[in-house]
Amino acid sequence: MACLPSHSLTSPHPFYWSSLTAASGPLWQLNDQQLDCALDLMRRLPPQQIEKNLSDLIDLVPSLCEDLLSSVDQPLKIARDKVVGKDYLLCDYNRDGDSYRSPWSNKYEPPIDDGAMPSARLRKLEVEANNAFDQYRDLYFEGGVSSVYLWDLDHGFAGVILIKKAGDGSKKIKGCWDSIHVVEVQEKSSGRTAHYKLTSTMEKDETVGESSPHIANIGRLVEDMENKIRSTLNEIYFGKTKDIVNGLRSVQTLADKSKQEALKNDLMWALKRKQQS
DSSP secondary structure string, 212-229?
-HHHHHHHHHHHHHHHHH
Q: How large is the average pLDDT for residues 224-228?
A: 85
Identify the pLDDT of residue 192: 80
Q: Count the Cβ atoms, other than its own, within 10 Å of residue 159.
A: 21
Which segments of the chain belong to CATH 1.20.58.570? 19-71
pLDDT value at 71 more than 60: yes
- Top mean pLDDT of 67-81, 86-100, 178-192 is at 86-100
Confidence of residue 188 (pLDDT cuts 50, 70, 90): confident
In CATH, 118-239 is 3.90.1150.210 = yes
pLDDT bracket for residue 133 (50, 70, 90): very high
Say if residue 100's pLDDT is above 90: yes
User: What residues are paired with 141 via a beta bridge?
Assistant: none
Q: Which of 221-230, 245-254, 265-274 has the lowest mean pLDDT?
A: 245-254
Measured distance CA(148)–CA(47) in Å, rounded = 24
Q: What is the pLDDT of residue 117?
A: 96
Query: What does the alpha-carbon distance between residue 48 and residue 247 come to, in Å, rounded to a whole number?
Result: 27
The one-letter amino acid code at 239 reads: G
- 19-23, 38-42, 111-115, 195-199: range with lowest mean pLDDT: 19-23
pLDDT exceeds 70 at position 168: no
Give the model confidence (pLDDT) of 137-167 as tens digits: 999 888 999 999 999 999 899 999 999 988 7
**HSE (side-chain half, CA atoms, 13 Å) at 120:** 0
How does residue 13 score in pLDDT terms, banded at 50, 70 and 90? very low
% pLDDT > 70, the chain: 81
Fold of 19-71: Methane Monooxygenase Hydroxylase; Chain G, domain 1 (1.20.58)
**Does pLDDT of 211 surpass 70?**
no
**pLDDT value of position 201:** 36
What gap in Å lies between CA 151 and CA 148, rounded to an integer? 10
What distance in Å separates the CA atoms of residue 194 and residue 49, rounded to the nearest whole number?
A: 40
Name the most confidently modeled range: 60-69, 96-105, 138-147. 96-105
Q: What is the pLDDT of residue 5?
A: 39
Bridge partners, residue 77, by sequence? 90
Residue 162 has a pLDDT of 94
Q: Where in the chain is the domain with CATH 3.90.1150.210?
A: 118-239
Distances (CA, A) of 83 to 95, 98, 114, 194: 18, 19, 19, 35
